[in-house]
Structure 1
Amino acid sequence: MNSNKTVLVLGANSDVAKEAILLYLEKGYHVIAASRSTAEIAAFMEARKVPGSRLTICYFDATAFDDHAKFYAALPAKPHIVVYAAGFQVTNEQALVDWEGSYRMMQVHYAGAVSIINLIIKDSDNDHLERIIGLSSLSGVRGRKSNFVYGSTKAAFTQYLAGLRQYLFARKVVVNVIVAGYIRSKMTAGLDLPESLLMEPSFIARAIVNAGSSFTIVPGIKWKFIHQVLKYLPEKLAARLP
């Protein structure tokens, strides 16, 4: 059991994050679920009959950078594990003409993550931080014409985590990135995605909660193959991808 350990989940109202919270609670962790949508998280947990003794729900806005220090200082406990799962997406066509949509993706996926995680890792009073996990995307592996604005924000996040892993190596803090493919979630609802490639949020959540020592974790056999193809496909062929 992990009754003395705390997990901080940032962006806790995502479908994947909520499933991960349930799994962490099952394993005996205390969980701080941080999100703008606190009422939705509370309703979800009530529907799942989750006891509140080891769960704290608090407000967190990834884009409210000036509030991050106050948010972190007010936490009921310093985290052993941090999961960053905040997400926002507009279509590529919309992103090309709507700067606000593009900018919000940059803020949520990258700038917000850097802002809050930097605060966490520089907290000299927290000597029990042991792991940081970021939920990224295969969209950030290779630029593609159908989603390169969104993908660029995930690529930036992944590279930040890669450097963070090296920075924290001497402190023995493990950093993982979950490089996920298509997830059946509210963020992908309405998109025309292949049913055979859709993964359930609970499947991705298990990859988060059971993360080992490897940096890059790609859930799903099919997506492991696609990940390798995207990385090494010659540019002439990659240019033909949707």
Structure 2
Amino acid sequence: MKDAFGTPQSLLVLGGTSEIGLATARRLVARRTRTVWLAGRPSPDLEKAAAALRDMGADVRTVAFDALDPESHEESLGKIFTEGDIDMVLLAFGILGDQARDEDEPLSAVRVAQTNYTGAVSAGLVCARALQSQGHGSLVVLSSVAGERARRSNFIYGSSKAGLDAFSQGLGDALHGTGVHVMVVRPGFVRSKMTAGLEEAPMATTPDAVAEAIETGLRRRSETVWVPGALRVVMSALRHAPRPLFRRLPV
């Protein structure tokens, strides 16, 4: 169960090598989180991440998880909840893709959609059902401002995040009153390995800043979190901009 300060004592990170996911885990472990599950494809990086959290004093376990294999999600994620209650699930996996390549290679575009949307729908539903069965917990979903309105520069990635965002909001409505809290996090450009080499967008942020916003959102039981917060206003303006004007904007 969460402690009196709203800090989860147990955490499951879907996307166990995600920089935002690990920044969040470090922040929570530095508070009162003591049990951490890192779910991801088996790799030296996954084990290294687990070892680093163990050095901070957490009980950390890894589990094989592949977003592109939804048929395995019931078993791989279900067994985690049989080990004990999970206070917070952080859905942190996703790929950016390469817009130019993905337009030329439809199968690459499909992989982006399957990872960011289809895989997330499957994993999200499995975890939501388990959280509902235990009667408490938070499901935190990493969306993106890219999902607010499709842009020419990244509409394949953006459309996958738009689907994830809509799904997560609907799931939150479906779980309202069950004891399960769903929070959608919409970061802007995050300085990370995933965005290395890309031109930095205005109001860029960091994994640590997103982690701080997640912790604050959990404490407030927010349903939507923007990182940084000023993006809420910016994206509202972009969302309502007339299409002829929107097409001329350098976005």
Residue of structure 2 equivalent to 1:218: 226
Residues 110-155 of structure 1, C-alpha deviation per residue, up to 9 Å, x if partnerless?
Answer: 1111111212223388324321110011110001111111100000
Equivalent residues in 2 for 1:97-112, closer than 5 Å = 97-112=104-119
1:238 maps onto 2:246 in alignment? yes
SS at match of 1:122: helix
Equivalent residues in 2 for 1:40-51, closer than 5 Å = 40-46=45-51, 50-51=55-56
Equivalent residues in 2 for 1:28-67, closer than 5 Å = 28-29=32-33, 30-46=35-51, 50-51=55-56, 53-67=58-72
1:197 maps onto 2:191 in alignment? no
1:209 maps onto 2:212 in alignment? no
1:81 maps onto 2:93 in alignment? no
Residues 18 and 41 of structure 1 are in contact (CA less than 8 Å); yes or no, is this contact kept in structure 2? no
Q: Compute the displacement of 1:234 (Å).
A: 2.2
1:70 maps onto 2:75 in alignment? yes
In structure 2, distance between residues paired with 1:35 and 1:213: 27
Higher mean C-alpha displacement, 43-52 vs 94-103: 43-52
In structure 1, distance between residues paired with 2:243 and 2:8: 50
Normalized against structure 1, the TM-score is what? 0.90
In structure 2, distance between residues paired with 1:52 and 1:102: 40
Q: What amino acid sits opposite 1:61 in the alignment? A: D
Structure 2: which 5+ residue stretches go unaligned? none
Residue of structure 1 equivalent to 2:9: 5
Q: Compute the displacement of 1:51 (Å).
A: 4.1
Residue of structure 2 equivalent to 1:93: 100
Change (3 A) 1:125 1:118: closer
Q: What amino acid sits opposite 1:174 in the alignment? A: H
- What RMSD over aligned residues (CA atoms) do the two structures have, in Å? 2.2
Q: Compute the displacement of 1:209 (Å).
A: 2.4
Count of paired positions: 241
Q: What amino acid sits opposite 1:78 in the alignment? A: D
SS at match of 1:62: coil
Change (3 A) 1:78 1:25: same
Which of 143, 151, 161 is matched with 1:154 structurally? 161
Change (3 A) 1:84 1:59: same
SS at match of 2:221: coil
Residues 8 and 31 of structure 1 are in contact (CA less than 8 Å); yes or no, is this contact kept in structure 2? yes
In structure 2, distance between residues paired with 1:44 and 1:5: 19
Structure 1: which 5+ residue stretches go unaligned? none
In structure 1, distance between residues paired with 2:130 and 2:102: 36
Q: Compute the displacement of 1:39 (Å).
A: 2.2
Change (3 A) 1:51 1:113: same
Residues 10-52 of structure 1, C-alpha deviation per residue, up to 9 Å, x if partnerless?
Answer: 0121111110110121222221111115421332454577246
In structure 1, distance between residues paired with 2:175 and 2:54: 37
In structure 1, distance between residues paired with 2:32 and 2:206: 23
In structure 2, distance between residues paired with 1:110 and 1:17: 18
Normalized against structure 2, the TM-score is what? 0.87
Q: What amino acid sits opposite 1:9 in the alignment? A: V
Which of 151, 171, 182 is matched with 1:175 structurally? 182
Q: Compute the displacement of 1:210 (Å).
A: 2.3
Change (3 A) 1:239 1:117: same
Change (3 A) 1:124 1:44: closer
